[in-house]
Structures are given as structure tokens and as C-alpha cells.
Chains A and B, each alone.
Chain A
Amino acid sequence: MDLFFFFLFALIAVIAAVNVVLQRQPIASALSLIGVMGSIAVLYLLLGAEFIAMAQIIVYAGAVMVLFVFVIMLLNASPEVRRGRSWTSQLLGVPALLALLGILCYFVQGQFANAGFVKFGNFTGGSAKSVGLALFTDYLLPFEVTSVLILIAIVGAIVLARKEMD
């Protein structure tokens, strides 16, 4: 059952990610990216990270992607124009990426081939209670610093996006 759900949502994630890269309309890419994030949230649930899965749906699939779609609509983004590339990038681009992927998979298989198995229900340390406990005891300082970061980001975004008034 674990295997079935893993393959189902891994397949959805990969197909949607390919769609993100290949679509020429930005809005289609954005909707595919929501699909990727939703299926990654299900994989988080399978890995026993309930709180992170819900945060993924609320923060990423909800807030961040709404912001993206909002900006795409606001700027009336048109499909991008295709233009000629240099022959080196046409010839070597995809093989170089496949080489990157191959090297990554090779090292992962070499290092973590016997790293154990994921079985749903074996690890229940990802509930809101245990994440909150760790966040407010061991990781209190980074958590507080994060609030300052968000404040700076809000002020920065408003300063960048406002109209000049004088």
C-alpha cells in the first residue's frame, strides 16, 4: 500500500514538474506547480510529517501560489517567445542535465541504499505537538529571528511595489 501511494504521487509530482518546465503559458506552469506541491504534501504525510504537510498546503499551495497567480494576472503575462539558442546549449543542455541527474542518483544509491525503509505509521514524531515542542525549546532563537526576517520582507515588498508619491 505504501508502495502504491508512493508511486502514484511520485508520478503525479514528476509529470506536473515536467509540465512546469515545458508549458509556455506562465499560468499553466503555476497551476502545474500547485500539483507538484500537493503531491509532495501527500509524500510528507507518508513520511510521518503531518504538521509540515499541512504547512506545505497552506503556505505553498495556498499563499505563495496565490501570490504567483496574482502577479501573472496583474502583469497579463503572455506566452514566451521562442528564440534561437547557441548550438552548444542546444547540443549539450539536456545531456548535461541527465549527467547531473545520473551522478546524483549514483551517489544516493551508493550512500543510502541500506538506509532503511519508510513505512506509514512507524515514525510519528511529526505531529503539531512534537514539532511545536522542538520549535519553542531547542530552536527558539531561530524562530524569533525568523519573525524579524518576515518583518523585513514585508517592509521590503511594500517599498518595492508601492507607487512613488510626491
Chain B
Amino acid sequence: MPEGFQALQNGVPISWYLILSAILFALGVAGFLFRRNIITVFMCIELMLNAVNLSFVAFANQHKLVSGQIFTFFVMVVAAAEAAVGLAIILTVFKNRDTLNIDEIDSLKN
């Protein structure tokens, strides 16, 4: 039996969780940059926050400390508050502009 396979009997390496977190974060960045619907862009921000939370919990497991989980808890609280305010802003923008396309919402440009 090869050496690497023996090691995997101990469980999943921490670095795999971190790489999964990196993949989810990169997908969030992709959506944030490529999508044109303001609600979808907002959802991709939530995806990025989730990816970072996953690495916080993985580090908490690595150091056998609860502090990382507390940090995740605070990120969740801030994300919930952000979602409430952000969606209220989206509602107001839609009421005034009648569009959800971020290419057409450009009053602050120039």
C-alpha cells in the first residue's frame, strides 16, 4: 500500500478543506465579475463569505481552539445585517430605475 494512502486513514488533510474554500472563493469572484444581475452579484458575495467561513472553521479545527468558530459566528451576523440592508438598497434602486442590470445603474460614473 503506498505511503500517501496510509496517511489518509488518519482523516482528511486540513489543506484539502482550505483548497475547497479557495475553489468556492474563486467561483464567487467569477460570478461577482461576470454576472450582470445585481441580485446574482449579491449572492456571489455571500458565496465568498461562506468560503472564507469554511477556512476559519478549518483553522479552528487545526489549532483545537474555539476562537475561529466565534469569528465565523460574527461573520455570519454581519453577513445577515449586510443582506438585509443590501436587499433594501436593491428594492429602492429597482423602484427608482426599473432595472436590475448593473450596466444601467451608473449615475456615480464620471
- Of B36, B37, B91, the contact of A74 (CB 8 Å cutoff): B91
Residues in B lying within 8 Å of A, measured CB to CB: 7-8, 10-20, 22-31, 33-37, 39-40, 42-44, 46-47, 50, 53-54, 57-58, 60-62, 64-67, 69-70, 72-74, 76-85, 87-92, 94, 100-101, 103
CA of A40 to CA of B101, assembled, Å: 30
Q: A3-B11, A77-B39, A100-B26 are in contact. List 14 more A-B contacts (CB 8 A).
A: A26-B43, A33-B47, A43-B17, A52-B73, A59-B80, A80-B36, A97-B30, A104-B22, A104-B25, A120-B11, A126-B69, A131-B66, A131-B70, A139-B70
CA of A75 to CA of B79, assembled, Å: 22
A64 and B64 form a contact (CB under 8 A): no
Return the chain B residue nearest A13 by Cβ. Answer: B24
The prevalent SS among residues of B at the interface is helix
Known contacts A2-B11, A123-B61, A149-B77; A64 and B46 CB within 8 A of each other: yes
The prevalent SS among residues of A at the interface is helix
CA of A142 to CA of B92, assembled, Å: 31
Task: Sample 23 A-B pairs with CB under 8 A, ordered by A number.
Answer: A14-B20, A21-B34, A29-B40, A33-B43, A43-B54, A47-B61, A48-B61, A49-B72, A59-B80, A68-B87, A74-B91, A75-B39, A83-B36, A101-B23, A112-B62, A116-B62, A117-B12, A120-B11, A135-B73, A149-B78, A150-B81, A153-B82, A157-B84
